[in-house]
Amino acid sequence: MRATRKRWPKGTWMRLKNGKLLRELMNTKNVSNAEVGLAAGVGRTFISALVNERRTSCRPQVAEAIAKRLDVPLEVIFDPRPSAGSGQNMKASAA
């Protein structure tokens, strides 16, 4: 049986809530930047950039994989956001 994935509207990206929280979750699970990056299909330097808040966003698929590897709900680490040009209103669709 194939796992179902949420389909995000085109142009959606994930905003990191807090790099320190991401680092604490990684420390709690005893996983490295490289391990999280491998699970998410990105490099360890990308994860390092998120942890140190040099980057604050990523694609939904990457965010989902990070949350899955850390065994936490996606909403704990990331907030979904529409792209500026997509014309989406995430608050209206959440209601």
* 36: exposed, middle or buried (Cβ count in 10 Å: 0-12, 13-18, 19+): buried
- Between CA 79 and CA 33 the distance in angstroms is 21
Q: So what's the pLDDT on residue 18?
A: 94
Q: Please say whether the dihedral angle defined by the alpha carbons of residues 58, 78, 41 and 55, taken in this order, is positive or negative.
A: positive
Domain boundaries, the chain: 12-80
Q: Which amino acid is at 12?
A: T
- List the structure tokens of 85: 């040009």
- Predicted TM-score (pTM) of this structure: 0.79
Choosing among 3.20.20.70, 3.90.1150.10, 1.10.260.40, 2.60.40.10, the CATH entry for 12-80 is: 1.10.260.40
3 state SS of 56: coil
Q: What is the pLDDT along the chain (95 residues), one digit of tens a residue?
A: 445 556 777 888 999 999 999 999 999 999 999 999 999 999 999 999 999 999 999 999 999 999 999 999 999 999 988 776 545 454 544 44
